[in-house]
């Protein structure tokens, strides 16, 4: 249901006379080729071929100009042994664990709250504003808030009001990932609220009514009716949120500049730096492939977990 | 609001608390925008001496014209706009075609091909960035908008979404047209496309926003200042002058953000529904 598999049965082919059917099918084959051609060709040229090329490159040493040398698994070994890559991997994992549960949890609470009230439109619009704002503008706006010294309004106001000095969010090696997570949650919250709210509105009111008649309080009804009913939506959003946090780059690049603060280095930044600053094309591809494997593994684990936690009603 | 008098006091209090929490959250969402606008009117002396004063003194609207003279901003706006429009047109057209084939044409391997299509969604775009760059360089498309326009139309998610919409179009419409002698193309163009207009609209909005806000590809594929898109131009300006000319940087951001926010406020119902729908996988 989450991935919305509509089961609409087509008229069975046996209903038609056999000869007409083969002729139609033959011609249909060509029509299928025609209709599919642009997307399939595009996919082959701009995704499948580069992916194959990336695999080949990952086993080579090449700066784009000189000789290509076959180095076997050296690039992978070098990356896995490189403390910079280790930092990037660790930061990426931390970011996912900081953003996904908190971001989706907050979004779910807000969606449930919004579902109770009239005048949702105003709140939906306000919460959604960051979603349509480009990640670059988001980063510039937050840089101004989180900056250190006398510039950042957050630390300035907290110091003036409470006399407490907060960490230098963007310059501190440890705290920067928390700041990035907060900005990421801020900028994606509205999207998840809107999606969850739409999911909540697909729950038939009769179900909630039945739960109430059976004596379920609000908490019980939430746990036994609401959660199972929107679990496909939660699952879908979780997969999307995890994948996008594994690919975090845009906001970080503008907000922090990981070249100056190691605490903000993510895998994609590593791929970018190796490829387009150091021109280590093989090394960069190896790091990118490690990211791909990580993405596939994490998604597979989630699809495995889905069977236990996600409820599909049909 | 006559109904309210019938609601017990405790529930009414609960409702007030609910609104209080939602308003507090809303303030957190709005504050960065407000602070951006206020700062965009501040001059450099104030940023250096009293950056935390809430209001600009004096107000300096001159930051806005200054942005346009300091940067090729008008050009960047046009670049972002026409690239986004081309992305929308190409993506909608080609993915509707593919979606039609998957939804309504029976051919061998249809199911397997569709699964493969969806599986490619799992490949992060960054995985292929180096080879893609090398390939586009071979085509001579680096530092050209072609690097953003042409690969941009490949969109398996769009195919998936439109397929859902096409399957919801009554098959009887198509059969009636076929009896009248319409071929596949006529059916697609005259029957299917007009019937999935809401889906196309939703997808168009999503693709436009994604293209307009895209940063990673322009950062890597473009060099010339006159080719820059809005996010690219702002990021470069922020990196060079950010700490010095906060007022200008924030004015630049505001110019990029405010028109989108206004467009969003006007079309909010459709935009929110489109986003919700795509998040639910096209239900």
pLDDT in tens, A51-73: 999 999 999 998 878 888 899 99
Question: Which is higher by pLDDT, B125 or B81?
Answer: B81
d(CA A244, CA A241): 5
Q: What is the dihedral of CA A17, A23, A24, A27, to 10 degrees?
A: 180
Tell me the C-alpha distance between B76 and B73, whole Å.
Answer: 5
Q: DSSP secondary-structure letter at B225?
A: G
- Which secondary-structure segment (H or E) carries A112? helix A83-116
* SS3 assignment for B205-224: HHHHHHHHHCCHHHHHHCCC
B220: which chain A residues are within 8 Å (Cβ-Cβ)? 272, 276
Looking at chain B, the whole-number percentage of residues with pLDDT higher than 70 is 95
A85 touches A287 (CB < 8 A): yes
Please give the interface size between A and B, counted as residue pairs whose CB atoms are below 8 Å apart. Answer: 303
Query: From its phi and psi, is residue A304 left (phi > 0), alpha (psi between -120 and 50) or beta?
Result: alpha
Nearest-Cα residue of chain B relative to residue A189 = B29
Measured CA to CA, the distance from residue A247 to residue A241 in angstroms comes to 10
Residue range A13-48, pLDDT digits in tens: 444 455 555 555 567 889 999 999 999 999 999 999
Residue A5 has pLDDT above 50, yes or no: no
The token pair at B205 is 């909005």
**CA neighbor of A135 nearest in space, from A192, A191, A187:** A187
pLDDT of residue B2: 45
Tokens of B254: 């505001």
Q: Are B257 and A117 in contact (CB under 8 A)?
A: no
ipTM: 0.89
| Angstroms from B236 CA to nearest CA on chain A | 9
pLDDT confidence of B5, banded at 50, 70, 90?
low
A140 touches chain B (CB under 8 A): yes
Q: To the nearest whole angstrom, how far is the Cα of B22 from the nearest Cα of chain A?
A: 7
Q: Which tokens in the block code for residue A159?
A: 């110091």
Contact A125 B264 (CB under 8 A): yes
Write the CB contacts of A211 (distance below 8 Å, at least 6 apart in sequence): A220, A221, A224, A225
CB contacts of B242 in chain A (<8 Å) are 140, 143
Q: pLDDT at position B92, please?
A: 97
Chain B interface includes A219 (CB < 8 A): no
Considering only residues A188 and B5, tell me which one the structure prediction assigns the higher pLDDT.
A188
Of B83, B126, B238, which to mutate for an interface test with A (greatest number of A Cβ within 10 Å)? Answer: B126
Summarised one tens digit per residue, pLDDT across range B239-270 is: 877 666 788 889 999 999 988 899 898 888 88
The pLDDT, as a whole number, for residue A84 is 93
The tens digit of pLDDT for each residue in B196-253 reads 998 899 899 889 999 999 999 999 999 999 999 999 999 988 887 766 678 888 999 9
Of B240, B238, B263, B252, the closest CA to residue B72 belongs to B252
Partnered with residue A61 across adjacent β-strands are A69
Q: How confident is the model at residue A3 (pLDDT cuts 50, 70, 90)?
A: very low
What's the pLDDT band for A184 if we cut at 50, 70, 90? very high
- The Cα of B3 is separated from the nearest Cα of chain A by a number of Å equal to 12
Beta-bridge partners for A241: none
Find residue A70's DSSP bridge partners.
Answer: A60
Q: How far apart are CA A305 and CA A307, in angstroms?
A: 5
CA separation for the pair B76, B87 (Å, rounded): 16
Among partner residues B239, B253, B276, which is closest to A141 by beta-carbon distance? Answer: B253
Kindly state the tokens that stand for A108: 């779910």
Predicted pLDDT of residue B267? 86
Chain B contact present for A146, CB below 8 A: no
Mean pLDDT of chain B: 89
Side-chain half-sphere of B60: how many Cα atoms within 13 Å? Answer: 21
Which of A12, A132, A253 to mutate: most B Cβ within 10 Å? A132
pLDDT tens digit string along B152-182?
Answer: 999 999 999 999 999 999 999 999 999 998 8
Q: How far is CA A50 from CA A46, A267, B114, B136, B267, in A?
A: 6, 19, 20, 10, 38
Question: Mean pLDDT, to the nearest integer, of A94-117?
Answer: 94
Ordered by where they begin, the domains of chain A are 16-51 (no CATH), 74-135+172-309 (1.10.3720.10)
pLDDT at A10 over 70: no
Query: Residue A25: what pLDDT?
Result: 57
pLDDT given for residue A21 in this prediction: 53
Q: Is the pLDDT at A1 greater than 50, yes or no?
A: no
pLDDT confidence tier of residue A308, bands split at 50, 70 and 90: confident
CA distance A191 to A132: 9
Mark yes or no for CB contact B129/A275 under 8 Å. yes
Residue from B26, B73, B124 whose CB has the most chain A CBs within 10 Å, to mutate? B124
B61: three-class secondary structure by DSSP: coil
pLDDT of A150 over the 90 cut: no
Q: Are residues B132 and A28, on separate chains, in Cβ contact within 8 Å? A: no
Name which of A47, A197, A254 is nearest B123 (Cβ-Cβ): A47
Whether residue B191 contacts residue B218, with contact meaning beta carbons closer than 8 Å, is answered with no
Task: In whole angstroms, give the CA distance from residue B259 to residue A234.
Answer: 32
* CA–CA dist A181, A268 (Å, integer): 16
**Chain B contact for A298, CB < 8 A?**
no
Mean pLDDT of B58-62: 88
Q: What is the CA radius of gyration of chain A?
A: 25
Q: Is A62 at the interface with chain B, CB within 8 A?
A: no
At B7 the pLDDT is 66
Given an 8 Å threshold on Cβ–Cβ distance, is B268 in contact with A125? yes
> What's the rounded Cα separation, in Å, for the pair A312 and A232?
7
Q: Best residue in A50, A252, A296 to probe B by mutation, most B CBs within 10 Å?
A: A50
CB neighbourhood size of A58 (10 A): 25
Confidence category of residue B126, pLDDT binned at 50, 70, 90: confident
End-to-end Cα spacing for chain A: 8
Average pLDDT (A149-167) is 85
Residue given tokens 């949890």 in the structure block: A105
User: Is A145 an 8 Å CB contact of chain B?
Assistant: yes
pLDDT at residue A8 greater than cutoff 50: no
């Amino acid at each position: 249901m989450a991935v919305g598999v509509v089961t609409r049965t087509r008229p069975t082919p046996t209903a038609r006379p056999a000869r007409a059917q083969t002729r139609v099918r033959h011609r249909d084959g060509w029509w299928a080729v025609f209709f599919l051609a642009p997307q399939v060709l595009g996919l082959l040229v701009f995704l499948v071929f580069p992916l194959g090329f990336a695999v080949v490159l990952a086993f080579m040493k090449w700066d784009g100009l000189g000789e290509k040398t076959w180095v076997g698994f050296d690039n992978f070994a070098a990356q896995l042994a490189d403390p910079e890559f280790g930092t990037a991997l660790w930061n990426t994992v931390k970011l996912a664990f900081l953003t996904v549960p908190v971001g989706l949890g907050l979004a779910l609470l807000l969606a449930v709250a919004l579902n109770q009230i009239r005048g949702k439109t105003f709140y939906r619009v306000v919460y959604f504003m960051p979603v349509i704002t480009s990640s670059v503008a988001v980063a510039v706006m937050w840089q101004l808030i989180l900056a250190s010294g006398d510039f950042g309004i957050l630390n300035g106001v907290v110091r003036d009001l409470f006399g407490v000095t907060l960490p230098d969010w963007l310059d501190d090696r440890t705290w920067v990932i928390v700041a990035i997570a907060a900005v990421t949650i801020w900028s994606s919250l509205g999207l998840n609220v809107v999606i969850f709210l739409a999911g909540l509105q697909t729950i038939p009111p009769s179900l909630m009514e039945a739960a109430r008649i059976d004596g379920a309080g609000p908490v019980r009804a939430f746990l036994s009716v609401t959660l199972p009913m929107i679990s496909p939506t939660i699952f879908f959003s979780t997969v999307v949120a995890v994948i996008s946090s594994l690919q975090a780059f845009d906001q970080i690049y503008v907000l922090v500049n990981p070249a100056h603060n190691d605490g903000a280095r993510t895998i994609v930044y590593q791929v970018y730096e190796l490829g387009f600053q150091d021109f280590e094309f093989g090394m960069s591809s190896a790091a990118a492939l490690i990211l791909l494997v990580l993405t596939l593994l994490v998604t597979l684990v989630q699809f495995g977990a889905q069977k236990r936690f996600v409820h599909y009603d049909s | 609001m006559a109904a309210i008098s019938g609601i017990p006091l405790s529930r009414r209090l609960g409702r007030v608390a609910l609104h209080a929490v939602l308003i507090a959250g809303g303030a957190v969402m709005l504050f960065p925008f407000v602070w951006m606008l206020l700062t965009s009117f501040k001059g450099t002396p104030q940023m250096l001496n009293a950056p935390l004063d809430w209001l600009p003194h004096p107000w300096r609207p001159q930051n806005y014209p200054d942005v346009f003279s300091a940067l090729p901003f008008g050009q960047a706006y046009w670049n972002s706009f026409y690239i986004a429009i081309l992305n929308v047109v190409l993506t909608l057209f080609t993915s509707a075609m593919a979606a039609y084939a998957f939804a309504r044409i029976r051919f061998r391997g249809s199911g397997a091909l569709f699964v493969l299509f969806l599986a490619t969604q799992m490949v992060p775009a960054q995985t292929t960035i180096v080879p893609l760059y090398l390939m586009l360089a071979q085509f001579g498309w680096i530092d050209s908008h072609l690097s953003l326009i042409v690969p941009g139309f490949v969109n398996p998610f769009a195919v998936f979404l439109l397929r859902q919409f096409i399957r919801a179009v009554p098959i009887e419409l198509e059969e009636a047209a076929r009896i009248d002698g319409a071929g596949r193309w006529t059916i697609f163009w005259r029957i299917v496309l007009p019937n999935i207009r809401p889906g196309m609209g939703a997808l168009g909005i999503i693709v436009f926003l994604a293209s307009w806000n895209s940063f990673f590809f322009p950062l890597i594929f473009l060099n010339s200042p006159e080719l820059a898109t809005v996010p690219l131009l702002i990021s470069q300006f922020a990196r060079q002058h950010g700490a010095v000319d906060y007022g200008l940087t924030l004015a630049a951001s505001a110019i990029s953000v405010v028109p989108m926010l206004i467009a969003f406020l006007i079309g909010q119902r459709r935009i929110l529904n489109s986003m919700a729908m795509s998040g639910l996988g096209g239900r």
